[in-house]
Amino acid sequence: MEDVKKGSVSDFIMSILLLIFGIALIISSLNMKVFNTFLDAPGFFPMLLGIIFIFLGLMMLISSIRRKGPQQMGHVFGKANLGAFFKHIEFKRVMILIGLMVVYIFGLIGRMHFAIATAIYLFCTMWFLKSTGLVKNIIISVVTSIVISVVFRFVFNIPLP
């Protein structure tokens, strides 16, 4: 039952986003340069997309209003529900996993050798996931990152970041 409510609310939010996005697309495509005629202007197709997004957004909006999407907003975004959501174990897990990826991709890679960055990332992620024991974790992280680096660099001749 919760899913039905969430569905109508997420559709409601999405429909608003689509409407805004569609309008923004039309405005920005009308601002694009027209070379010969509007027929082959760079903005023509994006403008069409904007119209389609507005149409789809309206369809979704009507559907979500019929499903009482706006009324459910209060419930879904209520303090109790939102608090529960942020404390939810799944949410935390995903956030931390994403955080680890961000550190790996934007923080470590490029600042040190790919193998070292990868080993650190693998160790931390598997440690967080409690995938295996500490010693095994270290062995797996180090060996995998070295194997990956060597295989891709020298066997497949692929540049490493």
Partner 1 sequence: MEAIFREIALFGGAFMSVFTLTELMVVMMATILGIIVGAIPGLTATMALALLINLTYGMNLNIALAFLLGVYVGAVMGGCYSAIMVNIPGTPSAAATALDGFVLAKRGEGGLAIGTGIVASFFGMLMSILLLIFLTPFLYKIALKFGQWEYFLLSVFGIMICGNLSTGKDPIKGWVVGFLGFFTAMIGLDKIYAYPRFTFGSLELMGGIALIPALIGVFGISEILFVLQEKIPYKIEGNIGRVLPTKKIMKSILPAAIRSGIIGVGIGAVPGAGEDIGAWVSYDIGKRRSKHPELFGKGSYEGLACAETANNAVVGGAMIPLLTLAIPGSPPAAMFLAAIWLHGIKPGPMLPVEQPGFLYRVAILLFFATVFMLVWGLIMAKPMAKILKVKREILMPIIVPLTVIGAFAGGVRGFDIGVMFVFGLIGYVLRKLDYPMAPLVLGIILGPMADVSFRQALMQGQGNLIPLLGRPVGIVLMFAIAFIVVTGIKRAMDYSKEQRELILAQQNSEQSNGN
Per rule CB under 8 A, is residue 40 in the interface with partner 1? yes
Per rule CB under 8 A, is residue 10 in the interface with partner 1? yes
Place of tokens 């994403």: 98
* Residues 12/65, Cβ–Cβ less than 8 Å: yes
End-to-end Cα distance, the chain: 46
Q: How far is the CB of 71 from partner 1 (least distance, A)?
A: 9
For residue 13, which of 70, 62, 83 has the smallest C-alpha distance?
Answer: 70
Q: Which residues pair with 78 in a beta bridge?
A: none
Site for partner 1, rule CB under 8 A: 1, 4-5, 7-8, 10, 14, 18, 25, 28-29, 32-33, 35, 37, 39-46, 48-49, 52-53, 56, 59-60, 62-63, 66-68, 72, 89-90, 93-94, 97-98, 101-102, 104-106, 109-110, 114, 118, 121-122, 125-126, 129-132, 140, 144-145, 148, 152, 156-161
